[in-house]
Chains A and B, each alone.
Chain A
């Protein structure tokens, strides 16, 4: 008996008791944060990220050179809470892994955000990772989609990302840190409405014959995530509409409408 954690047992259960295609619990909270235009706290299992979107706004002093005359620029910054990971390590702003993560998020959203509507302006996406247990990039992307949508920034479509892997010949979805360390994994970001894929990222080796299976399963999982995210957004928008109707001004407007009838 080895001391390694058994990632998938004979009954097809994973180390945390999930089935191979089972996703972890999703919690989406739209509580506003500071002065941000759109903000989301997104927990996926034990991974938790906060994303705030500011803008579109005039670029800051000194960064005006990087703007374009025909579209908005996306500015993505990722910070990692030092207490959110197992081994405490301070990662500065110039940490290579965080810069790479930010670059992945930026390149994922550049074709999705309708940047041509806001020339010479900037849209800030600030990501703060509070807890980390696998699936960091998918969590960041899903949370950013939701935050952009709450900020009222026009998107062509959602981006729903999920990680997948293969254990033996069995595809797995939504890997935890333990699984990510041992299993070849791939991150897929799909645009569920159009069925297009904006992101495929793989840092490990995976056999060609297995890739297609994982990829298909991950695309399906993206659609499942989409329904969850869409429901959360609809609920929030519904709340906003209710609040609008509860306002004193709206009641007056309704009454006047009735008198006109």
Chain B
């Protein structure tokens, strides 16, 4: 994105390839810049997070900044796009501030590229949370994950996936109660509202076989809810920037412009199973071979695990800060 001259590129490449490798900000090849994360930043959304990579600590400026927010809406299954059991739809939009040199059309293309990478990984049915259904075969939640890129100082995909994971981790699905309408015995006018809790348990006298659930209600206050099921499963992204014979992480814009090839790997690390590779993308003009990709996947897994562990810790911290501490503050006020 940044306009980098040939000489500048060659300079960056040769310093990366020198021994020991040199980077403009003094980092090692596999060092990240500082990452800051905050969740719960959009009060109207069901879950939200802001992630910044390499923000200047003094004035809070610079660096890559991404905001993600998840919003749930009810969708009917059957007519239209609704899917039984709910679905996840992702979109990425870029603020023109992030890419001031791009024309509006080029910005649209870029947004589309980012959306497709995110959608292919997060909207996949194998990773769909199980508690997005409301009434089987009739209503379900559509989870809209909207991501806004406010500024890009390199390594945008890692930031997007981290923000997405944090926002989805933070998402609360409202508790719903299925409702059934049926005529009372003997009277045809009056309708009786019956909730499924009593209907499903059923008394010994009840001989009805099937229960036709017609609608649902929200028993709780709207912002109460349960976390998304399987929120541990959302993957993290790791970008390996490939310069022949070496790779490095967390590239700045100039470094990104001077490498021919980037490999994105999406990993998730379930606590009880082997690591899952959720997808990979090779971006750029260069080419790679199978043996190289194999070794890169192995390295990528190692780095991604570090990112995963750090992110998991931070998310638990955020949960603690927002729930338990807030409650204590409320009580001690």
Contact = CB atoms under 8 A, between A and B. Distances in A.
Interface stretch (B56-64, B133-141, B294-302): B56-64
Main secondary structure of the interface of A (DSSP, over half): loop
Interface string B146-157: 101011110000
Interface in B247-298: none
Contacts of B153: 34
A35 B44 contact: no
A81 B41 CA distance: 13
B44 A83 contact: yes
A32 B60 contact: yes
A79 B93 contact: yes
Interface stretch (A84-92, A191-199, A211-219): A84-92
Given A54-B97, A83-B48, A126-B96, A34 B103 contact: no
A131 B42 contact: yes
A73 interface: no
Interface of A: 31-36, 39, 46, 50, 52, 54, 60-62, 77, 79, 81-86, 88, 90, 93, 124, 126, 128, 130-131
A52 B97 contact: yes
B69 interface: yes
B100 interface: yes
Please name the 7 residue pairs, one residue from A and one from B, whose CB atoms are nearest each other, closest first: A34-B151, A32-B61, A83-B69, A31-B60, A52-B97, A83-B45, A82-B146
Given A31-B59, A34-B153, 10 more contacts: A32-B59, A33-B61, A33-B65, A34-B95, A35-B97, A46-B43, A54-B97, A81-B146, A86-B44, A124-B96
Nearest to B98: A34
A124 B108 CA distance: 18
Given A34-B98, A34-B152, A124-B100, A88 B91 contact: no
Contact of B97 (A36, A83, A88, A131): A36
B73 A128 contact: no
A241 to B, nearest CB: 14
Interface string B15-48: 0000000000000000000000000001111001
Given A35-B151, A83-B44, A60 B97 contact: no
Chain B: interface residue count, which band? 20 to 34
Contact of A62 (B48, B95, B103): B103
B78 interface: no
Interface in B216-271: none
16 contacts: A31-B59, A32-B56, A32-B60, A32-B61, A34-B97, A54-B100, A60-B101, A60-B103, A61-B103, A81-B69, A81-B148, A83-B45, A88-B73, A128-B95, A128-B97, A128-B150
Q: Which of B48, B97, B98, B100 is the most central at the interface, judged by chain A CB atoms within 10 Å of its CB?
A: B97
B95 to A, nearest CB: 6
Contacts of A90: 91
B97 A32 contact: no
Q: Which of B67, B91, B96 is the most central at the interface, judged by chain A CB atoms within 10 Å of its CB?
A: B96
Contacts of B150: 33-34, 50, 128
